[in-house]
């Protein structure tokens, strides 16, 4: 059964956040809120966590996983980014955007797109997520909590606990979060290509 953690939306309890971060370090798969919707998260190098996310979401090996980053310094260690792209991405973060960029050697090979060698990165604008990333001290491998054959992501912590009780190890709930997935922008060619229109404003990339 998944452990259920309820934290304050504006002042998440440090002890609870620390407990969740410890479980991630030990290989747990966690459902957690973001500024766009709930996500599944596990440690970046966890093969078991990646496999479980693929199973829950019924994903193939072409799926772009997202590395959730605390800040721009952390993001810059994971992807190659030139000056023009740097300015565009910096102006849109933190926020509900995922950027697809060529990965660096810091990114485990199984997370990279098999042909393009790209990975998704983002910096969330969400208090509980930022607290978790700060406590964890490393990026969190993530994927939107969108179940197969469903059009809308799950947005309620209690419902996630109910439906995925035997598939995830923990659910972190901080009340209402967004209901739309992020806007996904592919910068791997140097020019922005909007792959998915979601919670973020796309006009700045058009």
Sorted by where each begins, the domain ranges of the chain are 3-205
User: Closest by alpha carbon to 38, among 197, 195, 174?
Assistant: 174
What pLDDT score does 179 carry?
A: 82
Q: Does domain 3-205 correspond to CATH entry 3.90.870.10?
A: yes
| Residue 7 in tokens | 């934290």
Distances (CA, A) of 18 to 12, 74, 133, 156, 201: 10, 20, 10, 22, 33
- Beta strands at 140-144 and 39-43: parallel, antiparallel or unpaired: antiparallel
DSSP string, 97-114: EEEEEEB-TTS-GGGS-T
Mean pLDDT by 10 residues, the chain (206 residues): 96 98 97 94 94 94 90 94 92 95 93 91 96 97 92 88 96 89 93 93 90
SS3 88: helix
User: Is there a contact between 65 and 143 (Cβ–Cβ < 8 Å)?
Assistant: yes
């Amino acid at each position: 059964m998944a452990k259920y953690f309820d934290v304050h939306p504006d002042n998440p309890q440090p002890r609870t956040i620390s407990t969740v971060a410890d479980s991630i370090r030990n290989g747990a798969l966690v459902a957690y809120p973001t500024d766009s919707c709930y996500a599944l998260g596990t440690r970046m190098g966890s093969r078991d966590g990646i496999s479980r996310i693929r199973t829950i979401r019924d994903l193939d090996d072409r799926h772009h996983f997202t590395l959730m980053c605390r800040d721009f310094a952390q993001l810059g260690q994971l992807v190659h980014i030139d000056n023009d792209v740097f300015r565009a991405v910096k102006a849109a973060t933190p926020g509900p955007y995922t950027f697809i960029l060529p990965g660096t050697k810091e990114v485990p090979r199984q997370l990279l797109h098999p042909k393009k060698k790209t990975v998704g990165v983002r910096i969330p604008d969400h208090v509980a997520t930022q607290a978790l990333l700060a406590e964890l001290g490393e990026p969190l491998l993530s994927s939107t909590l969108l179940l197969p054959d469903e059009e809308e992501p799950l947005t309620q912590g209690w419902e996630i606990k109910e439906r995925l009780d035997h598939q995830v190890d923990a659910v972190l709930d901080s009340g209402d979060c967004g209901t739309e997935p992020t806007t996904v922008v592919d910068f791997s060619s140097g020019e922005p290509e909007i792959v998915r229109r979601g919670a973020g404003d796309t006009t700045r990339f058009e």
